[in-house]
Amino acid sequence: MAKRFLQSPPGMPDILSRDQIFFDKILSVVNDFAGFYGFRKIETPILEYTELFEKGIGVSSDIVEKEMYTLRTRGGDSLTLRPEGTAPIARAYLQHGMQNFPQPVKLYYFGPFFRHERQQEGRCRQFHQFGFEVLGEQSPAIDAQVIQISYRILEALKLKKITILINSIGCSLCRPYFKKILKNYYNARKNQICPDCKRRLKKNPLRVLDCKEEKCQRIKNQAPKIVDHLCDECKNHFKEVLEFLDELRLPYILDYCLVRGLDYYTKTVFEIVPLATPDFKNGIGLETRSQVALVGGGRYDDLIKLFSREDVPAMGVAGGVERIIKEMKADGKVFQQARGPLVFLAQLGDLGKRKSLKLFEDFQRAKIWVAESFGRDSIKSQLKIADRLRVKYALILGQKEALDGTIILREMDSGRQEIIKFDKIVDVIKKRLKK
C-alpha cells in the first residue's frame, strides 16, 4: 500500500502547473473587474479566532457544526482555518475603523479556504475563492451591481450556459414571522419528512428548504414562499433588485427555496449555476444543486451588528475557483500556454558554465527568456532539449569558445552555425528577435 504521508490530504489537491494558467486567468479577470468597479484588495489571515465564525456564520450552520478545521494554540486559544471570507472582512472593517472611511467600502480578495466536507464532486477541503464585499450601503443598486459583476466575470471567462438563481429571505422583522408559518406547515407533515428536516425544523427552520432528500421534495416545493410574507421594505428592495437585473438584461430564475447555508444573510440571496443541470419545475437534479453553484452571495445587513453596535448594511459574493475551472474545462476552454523561451544556452566545462551564469543575467536584463540545462554535460543532450523546447536559437559555449571570448550561435531550423563575439551576443540576439 502506498505510504499515506506521500499523498496530499484528501480533498486538498496540488495545483499543478497545467492548472496554474486557469488560476492566473481567473485572477486577472477578477483584478480587471475589481479595478474598474473600484474595489480595493484585502488579505486577511488564514487563521481567525474560532468565535468569529461561530458568531458570524451561526452555530447551527453546517460549516460551524461539522466543517471547520479548528486547532488549539500552545497558549490555549482556539483558532480556525477560515472556511469563508465574509466574517473576516467584517472583522477587518471594524478592526481598522473602516466605518470612518468614505462609504461604501468596497473590498475584494482571492485565496485559499478550508472546509472539512464529505468527499464528493465539486467539494474540496482546501479550495480557492475570489470575493467582492461592499460595506456601508443599503441601496438595492449595490445588490444588482454585485450580481452583475459576478455574472460578467463568468461571462468574461467564456462560460455561457449559466443563470442566476435569486431569492429574498427577508429581515429580522419579517423572517421570524415566516419561520413560524413554515414550521406550522412542516409540523403538519412531520411524519413525511426526513430526520435531517426534523432536526432543522427545531434548530434552523429555513434550512428545510435546502433539503436534498427525495422524500422531502414534494413537500418542499409546495411549502409557503417567503417572498409572499416579506415586510414592505424587503418586498420593495427585492422588487427593485429584480428591476435592475431586468434593466441589465441579466437572466435569472426566482428560486423560492434558495436560502444559502450561512446564517448572516438578509434580504437578497443569489447563486450563479451552470444551466441545464437542475430542472427546478420538476425538482429533478435538485440534489446536485448546492454542489454546482459557481458563485454565491447575498446581503448581510445584520452581520456587523453581531460584532459591534454599528449598523452597517452590506452585500457580497464569493466564487469557487476550482468549480469555475472545472466548468471552463467542460466547456472545452483551453488557454494558450505562454510562449516558451526563444533561446537555449548550452555549455561545456567549468569555464563555460561560469561564463554562462553571467550571460544569463545579461539576457534577463534584456528581457529575453533563455532556457538552459546546467545539469547536463554533453552538448548533444543539451541540444536535444533545445529541440524539444522549439527554441529559435541555441547558443553553445564550450571550453574553446570560453577561452576565445566567443560563442556559437546555432539557428535551430536550418542547423546553420556562426561564431559571434561573446560581448556582442545579447545585442545580436536582440536584433534577430527584433526586440
231-239: long-range contacts at Cβ-Cβ below 8 A with a sequence spacing of 24 or more? 231/170, 231/171, 231/173, 231/174, 233/171, 233/173, 234/168, 234/170, 234/171, 234/173, 234/174, 234/267, 235/168, 237/140, 237/143, 237/168, 237/267, 237/268, 238/140, 238/168, 238/267, 238/268
Classify residue 106 as exposed, middle or buried by CB count within 10 Å of its CB (0-12, 13-18, 19+).
buried
58 scored as a contact of ligand HAM (CB under 6 A): no
Scan residues 341-380 and list those touching ligand HAM (CB under 6 A). none
**Grid coordinates representing 116?**
472539512
Pick from 123, 183, 235, 430 the residue near ligand HAM by CB under 6 A: 123
Q: Which is nearer to ligand HAM, 129 or 138 (CB)?
A: 129
For residue 259, report the phi and psi dihedrals to the nearest 5 degrees: -120, -20
Within 35-178, strands assigned E span 40-41, 47-49, 70-72, 78-81, 105-114, 126-135, 162-168
Among residues 124 and 226, whose Cβ is nearest to ligand HAM? 124
Told to check if 429 binds ligand HAM by CB under 6 A, we report: no
Per-residue x/- mask for ligand HAM, residues 214 to 243, rule CB under 6 A?
A: ------------------------------
**Region 281-320 residues binding ligand HAM, contact defined as CB under 6 A:** 293-298, 300, 316-320
42 belongs to the binding site for ligand HAM (CB under 6 A): no
Fill in the per-residue mask, 256 to 275: x = in contact with ligand HAM (CB under 6 A), - = not in contact. ------x-------------
Peptide bond before residue 104 is cis, with ω within 30 degrees of 0: yes
Q: What is the CA radius of gyration of the chain?
A: 28
The three cell numbers locating residue 3 = 505510504
Least distance to ligand HAM, CB of residue 222, Å:
26
Instruction: Report, in Å, the least distance between residue 160 CB and ligand HAM.
Output: 18
Region 73-102 residues binding ligand HAM, contact defined as CB under 6 A: 84-86
CB of 272 to ligand HAM, least distance (A): 8
Residue with cell 474595489: 39
Q: Of the two residues 117 and 263, which places its CB atom closer to ligand HAM in the complex?
A: 117
Report the nearest approach of ligand HAM to the CB of residue 124 (Å). 4
- Taking the complex as a whole, how short is the minimal distance between the CB of residue 290 and ligand HAM, in angstroms? 8
Three-class SS state of 421: strand
- 3-state SS, residue 349: helix
Q: Which residues touch 362 (CB under 8 Å, ≥6 apart)?
A: 426
Closer of 86 and 356 to ligand HAM (Cβ): 86
User: Given the complex with ligand HAM, which of 142 and 197 has the nearer CB atom?
Assistant: 142
The DSSP-derived string for 249-285 is T--EEE-TT---S-TT-EEEEEEEEETTS-BTTTTBT
Backbone angles phi, psi at 124, to 5 degrees: -110, 165
Task: Determine, following the binding rule CB under 6 A, whether residue 129 of this chain makes contact with ligand HAM.
Answer: yes
Q: Which is nearer to ligand HAM, 149 or 425 (CB)?
A: 149
Q: Is 104 in the site for ligand HAM (CB under 6 A)?
A: no
Which residue(s) pair with 406 in the sheet?
A: 421
Nearer to ligand HAM, 129 or 406 (CB): 129
Among 143, 301, 322, 401, binds ligand HAM (CB under 6 A): 322
For position 62 contacting ligand HAM by CB under 6 A, the verdict is no
Q: For ligand HAM, give the closer residue by CB, 178 or 300.
A: 300
Q: Is residue 278 a contact residue for ligand HAM (CB under 6 A)?
A: no
Instruction: Name the site residues for ligand HAM (rule: CB under 6 A).
Output: 84-86, 115, 117, 123-124, 127, 129, 131, 133, 262, 293-298, 300, 316-320, 322-323
